Amino acid sequence: MIRAVNYKWYAVYVKSRAEKKALTELTLKGVNAYLPLRVVKRKWSDRVKLVEEPLLRGYLFVFVSEREYLTVLQTPGVVGYVKFEGKAAAIPEREIENLKIFLERNKAFVDVSYENIAKGQKVKVVGGPLEGIEGEVFELRGKKRISLRFETLGCSVFADVSLELLEKIELINS
């Protein structure tokens, strides 16, 4: 498949609790859309069940060119593009691919934080199910964790990773 240069990933806001419906509508229109899901335990009075829910409530991602830009906005459930300085903010393809890999390998053990977290040591996972993922190390609740920061959305994704599976990445001072 040949991919046009002008296709970019964007985040779109969707109506509350309408992420899966908006994804279906976009897909029916031929738009390449992605909804990151995570597995969580939900407890009802008579049972406990594992369910998939959106990782980032109120958002989904679309891979579109200028031609499909308005098609996305005319989709039921879609509220608008995530914008910075009045312009739809493109998300680097590498961030979307890392998120897909991260969730594919670790769907049931992912946590999301919207807090402004201080930067830590940059690392790369060299073994285990998250091999190849880069992020920042933070110490939370006594465990070493890796955080993949998606700065475009202003959030961080966390997963438990053993310290011996990490390799430091040297930063080049600019």
Write the pLDDT tens digit of every residue in 105-138.
876 667 676 655 445 777 777 777 778 877 776 6
Provide the β-strand partners of residue 1.
none
> What values do phi and psi take at 2, rounded to 5?
-90, 125
Contact 55, 103 (CB under 8 A): yes
* pLDDT tens sequence across 6-65: 899 999 999 989 999 999 999 999 999 999 998 888 888 899 998 889 988 999 999 999
- Residue ranges of the chain that CATH labels 2.30.30.30: 97-168
- Measured between alpha carbons, how far is residue 135 from residues 20, 86, 88, 123, 167 in Å? 28, 29, 25, 6, 11
pLDDT of the residue at 140: 46
What's the start-to-end Cα distance of the chain, in Å? Answer: 38
Instruction: Indicate the pTM of the whole model.
Output: 0.72
Domain 8-91 has CATH 3.30.70.940: yes
Residues of the chain with CATH 3.30.70.940: 8-91
CA separation for the pair 22, 72 (Å, rounded): 10
**Rounded Cα gap, residues 61 and 98, in angstroms:** 14
Cα separation, 141 vs 139, whole angstroms: 7
Question: What CATH class has 97-168?
Answer: mainly beta
